[in-house]
Amino acid sequence: MFSQLPDHEKWQMAFSSAEFVAFAGQWIKVLPRSRQEALAIFVEQGIERLWPISFDYAFDPVFVRNEQLMADCAGKTDAELYRLWLTCGFVNGVAPNEQRYLEPYLAGAPFPMNFPWQDFVRRRRLPRSTSRSAALAALFDSSSEQVVSAAPLMGDDARWLLELIGRYKIGKDQMADAVAILCLAVKLDPRPLSQGLLGDAYGSTGDTAKSLACYRAASAHPDVHHEIVATCMRMLLDAGRFDDALIHLETSHLHWRKFPAFTEWLQEALVLKFEATCAQALKQYRRFDAAAVKAGVREATDTIISEMLYDIADSFGKLDDLPGPVGPCADGYVAILANMNIPQCVHYRVEQKAQQFALSGIPVRIFSEEDAGSFITSLAGARAAIFYRVAATPPVIRAILHARTLGLDTWYEVDDLIFDPSAYPDPFESFGGQISEAEYAGLQMGVPLFRHALAMCDRAIASTPSLAKRMEALVRSGQCIVIRNGLDTRNDNAIRLSRHLPERRDGRVRLFYGSGTLAHNADFNNIAGPAITQAMARHDNVDLIVVGHLVLSPGIEAFSDRILQIPFMSDKDDYWSVLSSCDINIAVLADGPVADCKSE
């Protein structure tokens, strides 16, 4: 609306009817009921009486004349000069009073009464007619050498004025002047604002080290503004100095712990530290040749990961806004934070458990590990918390700590021996080339991550007794229960289908092998492969149906015309349908601790 006003009426953009009435209401007989009525009263009565269009734009005719801010003002009355300013001065940025004139310099602050402007005028040999406002403007526009030499004239206002001049120089992109002036301000009084401004100036010159030093010094002050703390955090994190960032938070947390951004800073610092440490660790885990094994590379890297995880938990314990111990809600729900990446595991350990709880009348809320924040929020009404197959990332560590400090029982559940470095993962060769060295390194790194999450919880849930024994040794209470995989209502269709399959009369025998993991390729080829090869060689009516992950050995490949390989099937009904159509189901696991702990 205002953009369509002609230039001589654009002063209306600054008109405040509320402030106008507050100033002139005592002289107005009938108060305006709208902005338009207020404008009409101002035009009819206010210009002659020099009523302000707003408090900031109060018109001072003496100031405008003395500063010679407008041409053609000679011989004009105050009202005529006011009208001229409204129609011509406002649109051209002419200040109506001293405060507006000095706004670019003082940012709304009053004139510094301790500044001997007349002495400054004489020292700088400015015209004798120079006003105090013009003198102050000249001070701000002076070089850093001139400002520093004039500092003794500023008296008690020196630090404040130098701070303002430094800010002004930054705004003008005169960074060298800003640095020199703000260095003096900090020397006079190392206030956090001065140090923060000096940090801004150094940063703009590219001197990151000095900039960061200024921000860190400012952040240590109890009166520091949160933006300075945030800038310091950002610089430390961008520089990869995560431990320094955490120390920075620790020294300032008493003042900023309740500030909403503090928790965000803490989480970001810990996540970045976690990611950087894991990235370096992955390089070491990729060294799994005989020489690296002999040198204990994996064990040393596991230690680095574990120490990092303890540090993260310690930082959350000291700096996070953890809840008080309210205890479990007797009729509350069970909150589950789950790894949802492996469909068959989700089927048995998450979805099936939700059905079991439902049959027992216990409500359940399930959250993906990527949604740990929502999980934490939900804990207030929970009776217990289960953590299924989650690695000890910072969000997961934080979630476990929140559940524990609330006083909830924390249960860690897993259905594989993925937390034992002596047994997991299987040798790289056993994967039959189905995973890369980088992926294998990721499996190795996962072990201390899963182990730490398990050790943080009170109790454990295992899928087999062998697995339970190993989990008992790690959880806080030493207690673990066994809940086996089972059938549920989702298997009903497959069971009904198997009872009504049409009888095949082709005389063929169909062998079935299904694999949902990449880890047992060698088990199949080395253990079952020779027998299957022999059976197919002797009996030309034997077929092999493979569903899932498997690279066949050359011996079996010779019978490819009788082999059907189907990619991994995520649809359970489709999987059961294929299985039901076969005659013999083959399950192959090499004897060992990992196989002993596998879900049955």
The helix/strand/coil state of 596 is helix
Instruction: Read off the tokens for 362.
Output: 């216990």
Instruction: Give the per-residue pLDDT at 367.
Output: 98
Going edge to edge, which strands form the sheet with 542-548? 563-566, 542-548, 509-515, 584-586
β-bridge pairing 409-414 and 382-388:
parallel
**CA dist list (Å): 516 to 351, 482, 534:** 17, 22, 25
Instruction: Read off the tokens for 176.
Output: 């060298």
The class of domain 326-415+447-482 in CATH terms is alpha beta
Task: Specify burial of residue 222 (Cβ count, 10 A radius: 0-12, 13-18, 19+).
Answer: exposed
> What's the chain's length in residues?
600
Query: In sequence order, what are the beta bridge partners of 384?
Result: 334, 409
Going edge to edge, which strands form the sheet with 479-482? 364-368, 333-338, 382-388, 409-414, 459-462, 479-482
What stretches of 379-520 show up as alpha helix (H) in DSSP? 394-406, 437-456, 465-472, 492-499
The CA distance from 51 to 37, in Å, is 15
Instruction: Give the per-residue pLDDT at 16.
Output: 95
The helix/strand/coil state of 74 is coil
Count of other CB atoms within 10 angstroms of residue 361: 7
Instruction: Give the per-residue pLDDT at 419.
Output: 97
The CA distance from 372 to 378, in Å, is 10
The CA distance from 407 to 31, in Å, is 62
The CA distance from 409 to 385, in Å, is 6
The CA distance from 231 to 234, in Å, is 5
Q: What string of pLDDT tens digits covers the 600 residues of the chain?
A: 556 889 999 999 999 999 999 999 899 988 999 999 999 999 999 999 999 999 999 999 999 999 989 887 788 999 999 999 999 999 999 999 999 999 999 998 999 988 999 999 999 999 999 999 999 999 999 999 999 999 998 988 899 999 999 999 999 999 999 999 999 999 999 999 999 999 999 999 999 999 999 999 998 888 888 888 889 999 999 999 999 999 988 887 777 777 788 899 999 999 999 999 999 999 999 988 888 888 899 999 999 999 999 999 999 999 998 999 999 999 999 999 999 999 889 999 999 999 999 999 999 999 999 999 999 999 999 999 999 999 999 999 999 999 999 999 999 999 999 999 999 998 888 777 888 999 999 999 999 999 999 999 999 999 999 999 999 999 999 999 999 998 888 877 777 766 667 777 788 999 999 887 766 687 888 889 999 999 999 999 999 999 988 888 888 888 999 999 999 888 878 888 898 888 999 988 877 788 778 776
Domains 326-415+447-482 and 489-596 equal at CATH topology level: yes
- The H or E element spanning position 233 is helix 226-238
Give the CA-trace dihedral at 455, 458, 464, 469, to 10 degrees.
60
Is residue 477 a contact partner of residue 495, using CB atoms and an 8 Å limit? no
The CA distance from 198 to 531, in Å, is 78
Is residue 301 a contact partner of residue 287, using CB atoms and an 8 Å limit? no
DSSP for 149-197, written as a single string: HHGGGGGGGHHHHHHHHHHHHHHTT-HHHHHHHHHHHHHH---HHHHHH
Is residue 490 a contact partner of residue 348, using CB atoms and an 8 Å limit? no
Reference 216, options 189, 187, 240, 245; nearest CA is 245
Instruction: Give the per-residue pLDDT at 254.
Output: 74
Q: What are the extents of the domains in the chain? A: 326-415+447-482, 489-596
Count of other CB atoms within 10 angstroms of residue 105: 19
β-bridge pairing 584-586 and 509-515:
parallel
Count of other CB atoms within 10 angstroms of residue 488: 14
- Amino acid at position 303, single letter: T
Task: Specify burial of residue 204 (Cβ count, 10 A radius: 0-12, 13-18, 19+).
Answer: middle
pTM: 0.78
Instruction: Read off the tokens for 237.
Output: 């994190």
Cis amide leading into 222 (omega within 30): no
The CA distance from 357 to 591, in Å, is 34
Residue corresponding to tokens 């398990």: 454
Instruction: Give the per-residue pLDDT at 2.
Output: 54
The CA distance from 189 to 200, in Å, is 17
Is residue 571 a contact partner of residue 489, using CB atoms and an 8 Å limit? no
Q: Which residues contact 254 (CB under 8 A, 6 or more apart)?
A: none
**CA dist list (Å): 596 to 254, 409, 468, 585:** 51, 28, 11, 20
Residue corresponding to tokens 């590219």: 206
Residue corresponding to tokens 């004897």: 591
Reference 510, options 552, 539, 549, 530; nearest CA is 539
Instruction: Give the per-residue pLDDT at 354.
Output: 96
Instruction: Give the per-residue pLDDT at 204.
Output: 95
Instruction: Read off the tokens for 366.
Output: 């399930």
Instruction: Give the per-residue pLDDT at 63.
Output: 94
- Amino acid at position 181, single letter: I
Cis amide leading into 425 (omega within 30): yes
The CA distance from 591 to 600, in Å, is 14
What is the tally of helices (H) and strands (E) in the chain?
Answer: 31, 10
Q: Does domain 489-596 have CATH number 3.40.50?
A: yes
Count of other CB atoms within 10 angstroms of residue 143: 14
DSSP for 280-339, written as a single string: HHHHHHT--SHHHHHHTHHHHHHHHHHHHHHHHHHHHHHHS-PPP-----TT-EEEEEE-
β-bridge pairing 409-414 and 459-462:
parallel
The CA distance from 427 to 443, in Å, is 11
